[in-house]
Structure 1
Amino acid sequence: MSEQLDILIFGAHADDAEIGMAGTIAKHTAMGYRVGICDLTYAEMSSNGTVETRKEEAEQAAQLLGLTVRTNLGLPDRGLFVTPSHIERITAEIRKYKPRIVFAPYWQDRHPDHIACSALIQEAVFNAKLRKYLPESDPVNVENMYFYFINDVYEADFIVNVTDYYETKKAALSAYRSQFITGQGSVATPLNQGYIERVVARDHLLGQKRMLPYAEGFVSKLPMVVDRFD
């Protein structure tokens, strides 16, 4: 029987979740939260690296972040579409791990797979609670769903102070050597032309708004609930 998660993060490719929220992941696993990542594809269309390389890098990043579980649905890279079969696969993953909180990529991004992933997760989170949808498994009502940024940053609804865990984020990103570091036989892509440095600058600028060294931003489609103002 699978272990129930507190947080389940979806990405189209291994490294998506790390780019957007590795600091937040590390912060929560350090506090004892059970956190998992589900990558939808093996990123087989990547210009650099191989599927096997990407699997090894994803596992290394998972260990650095203290994940409870990391899975991959093996859906087609550059073939993600809002189809019944894709929604079913993702819904089954949500029902398997019963997370209280789900994260998905923000719905605007330069990469079409990130946009498709966002739409798919929203559909699956909704369907997961329907008793008559895939009735062979029990419905799951996700308490909260939030969105993280990958390539393109928009206005955040809230930020998480990740200063104490930022070195872990950089280590997790550096695990993806095939993507972020130019090596023998690699070709130039936006990812290996100073991408990690730009992510660090982004998170530093976001934290600066609240006098924090580093922060990661998130969006909620629903109003945030506040019990009191401190």
Structure 2
Amino acid sequence: MTKNILIFCAHSDDEAVGMAGTISKLVENGYDVYKVVFSYGESSHPHFREEVVINKRTKETKKASEFLGIKETIFLGMKDTKVKEDIEETNAGKIVEKILSQYKPKKIYIPTEKDPHPDHRAVNNFVLNLIDKLKLKVPVYEYEVWNIVNENKPMVYEDITKYYKKKIQYMKMFSSQWQYMYALWLPVYFRSRKYGNKNNCKFAERFYKVR
């Protein structure tokens, strides 16, 4: 039986904010973690040529994935801020269906349904619809990125006290996104402490179980 985990992200640093501690924990516990990134995030630096941004973000992502123990990062190459449109206009369904069939994940992680970023919501909607269409019986969890409100769904807390420092190190490795990551240092800290208090530990990450 496989011990594969699939993480779907709109952009290559999304899961760094929401679940890097949990990824580190999963890897230590013998799981093989695979990450599927829908967009290179080329619009994050509009004053640079897209190919320059894509090259930078691809390199830092691969380096960061190696650091955290992620087995492989798969880029789908969809247009940044236009993921929903690209999903509708391409054969994304067949591509992701093939990925699901190949890796046969024990668990799947996706961004939350109500994340403020449209690309994050698009990934959520697409993956859930595909899983339902394929009638896959696999646990699916939503991780938080830019969420500012609680959702009325079953919640699961993961103790990441042992892995919190590594989570921060991982976040710092996305150097092209320093302005966003810097803005998230304190929110990530306070969120992790708050969830830790709810889980009787120092630091925790929260997930919504949606399947």
Q: 1:54 aligns with which of 47, 54, 57?
A: 57
The residue type paired with residue 125 of structure 1 is I
Which residue of the partner structure matches residue 6 of structure 2?
8
Q: Distance in 2 between matches of 1:27 and 1:209?
A: 19
Which residue of the partner structure matches residue 26 of structure 1?
24
* TM superposition shift of 1:5: 5.3
For structure 1, list consecutive stretches of 5 or more residues without a partner in the other structure. Answer: 130-140, 182-190, 223-230
Relative to its length, the structure with more helix (as a share) is 2
Q: Quick check: which has more Rg, 1 or 2? A: 1
The residue type paired with residue 18 of structure 1 is A
* TM superposition shift of 1:87: 2.4
* TM superposition shift of 1:69: 1.3
Which residue of the partner structure matches residue 160 of structure 2?
162
Pairwise CA RMSD: 1.9
Which residue of the partner structure matches residue 66 of structure 2?
63
Q: 1:204 aligns with which of 182, 193, 198?
A: 193
Q: Distance in 2 between matches of 1:9 and 1:217?
A: 15
Deviations 1:157-205 (A, max 9, x none): 1100000011111111000111124xxxxxxxxx155222321221111
Give the TM-score normalised by the residue count of structure 2.
Answer: 0.86
Q: 2:80 aligns with which of 77, 81, 103?
A: 77
Which residue of the partner structure matches residue 136 of structure 1?
none
Q: Following superposition, which runs of at least 4 residues in structure 1 exceed 4 angstroms of deviation?
A: none
- Are positions 1:217 and 2:206 aligned together? yes
Any idea what SS the aligned residue of 2:100 has? helix
Q: Contact 2:157 / 2:207 at 8 angstroms: preserved in 1?
A: yes
Q: Contact 1:180 / 1:196 at 8 angstroms: preserved in 2?
A: no
Q: Contact 1:40 / 1:74 at 8 angstroms: preserved in 2?
A: yes
- Are positions 1:151 and 2:146 aligned together? yes
Deviations 1:93-133 (A, max 9, x none): 2122221211111100111100111001112222344xxxx
- Structure 1 window deviating more from structure 2 (5-14 vs 80-89): it is 80-89
Q: 1:64 to 1:108 in 2, by over 3 A?
A: same
Q: Distance in 2 between matches of 1:220 and 1:211?
A: 20
Which residue of the partner structure matches residue 110 of structure 2?
104
Q: Contact 1:24 / 1:162 at 8 angstroms: preserved in 2?
A: yes
Q: Contact 1:80 / 1:113 at 8 angstroms: preserved in 2?
A: yes
* TM superposition shift of 1:142: 4.5
Q: Distance in 1 between matches of 2:101 and 2:82?
A: 23
Q: Contact 2:159 / 2:199 at 8 angstroms: preserved in 1?
A: no
Give the TM-score normalised by the residue count of structure 1.
Answer: 0.80
Number of equivalenced pairs: 199
Q: Distance in 1 between matches of 2:185 and 2:171?
A: 7
